[in-house]
Structure 1
């Protein structure tokens, strides 16, 4: 039996509601797959932890996390308690940077039963590969002077190594999908970094002649996400551009509450981290109506990362069967609670199990449809 050690960090707000829900789903997956087991360890690191201890995580927090197989994060942030630049850089970004999680992956697709705000979404199915370690989100810069003479300087750092790494990841991913990569650029307005980005993209594309490519300026690309999202397969983008595009991708799906993300360590030295795109949603905390799908879809991405792609596909198929049949939380037009949606997903997973799933390998997705 393969045992995977998972560090759960529910974090703030609805993270404390959706992480337990997704953990229950993973436990059900474990029951289905006789050769797979999860061991969960919970960590209370959050803005509330900061108020008590003066830090978002203890000094040895990363040391505690480094031997886990992956990190399952809920949400970080509570502006009423802690400024965002403290909460995010003290937990989320600290883990991303120091665990060398250099790639961020965020898919967006039409889910049956979830109404897109687009008049005709045309069954788009895309994935954004975001460079996750440098770019516009570098911490290089500073401030000088005071008052009306105050100046803030923020340097965007683009290395060939980091840029090429993200692009190669995107090409390898596209090879398993529809064999198309789009580069998000702005070389008509950003003088140095974006022409550099374009040149690296051109160099990398030569190693993948079977993959079709195009480059789009970020402003036009954002518009095309709304008008023609079905055109896109894999999009590779810098840290800032990828961040913006993926929130837009969540919006055209119907809700940020259903959007997943993965922060990938590609060298195997440290665990990767899986988190939904949504924030802590303080306005609905404690109401029992947080959408668990973003966190559960994130669990699907974690299964894929562990090589359990068949299980991951089954989980997403089950989720889509639930949304198709109208088990929706209020953010996507339904009346169901977090628990009701989660319980329905678990019940359907158990029903699939009764059709004869074994760890030796019946086709899970086919069994779901039978």
Structure 2
């Protein structure tokens, strides 16, 4: 197991290094002028040159990438448009000349919203997705199974932006059943925190739980007919214990891998959900950066999203290897 963990850690590090190189090459080595884009249309020639020097764009490409990696590990000093030195601590993701602050600081300001949204949505996905899939599998072919299958099909087909706006209109503006979505820090008001994120949790969780439920139903049905499960039942083990001890463990690996992908995507920024409900998370920060041509912030949020996906997928792979020892030999 330790050898597999070490090998998987090396693979994760290699993937992250490749992502940083691809992102750096895409945004900084492109034919367009990153200094002009970062500084904005109101900057004069002197300010653009100052930004170009601050970003290291007057250095060779290899030196630029080395400085970028060094900033991620040890931090660096960046100059603002007016020449003011700014300490960008590790991990230094660059400096936003639009927001006038380091990108890492901007992400840190928006990260609590994304963490709150992703945590609640994952809870909905786990409870609703696994619960619905389990009930459908145990009652295969029944009216309940057909009803839940149709319900999950609708959930898998509907778009988040449509469902979000529709439920917001029906439950907030028309009937006042739910409060207006928003974010209140958990430490300030736990009740307001949960109330403001309830509708975003339900919308984001429902759409993803529908896909999770359909996969969990298929996996459970497949494992239920395996020989070792039938043997356990034949030896007198109750259906409940057989499903908990054997069926759940056999069906878990694909679900864990899907959950790792979902968690990585959510913690990297739920772009559509945050935009629909006006939540100031990392996803909304990335959307605003794209609209405003804030190149350093775009690069920083892309790297954060990639980091979240890679790390959560790696953790999911380790859990799968623990559940199924055959994976360690692959």
Is the shorter-chain TM-score for this pair beyond 0.5, marking a shared fold?
no
- Length-normalised TM-score, structure 2: 0.26
Higher strand residue share: 1
Higher helix residue share: 2
- Length-normalised TM-score, structure 1: 0.24
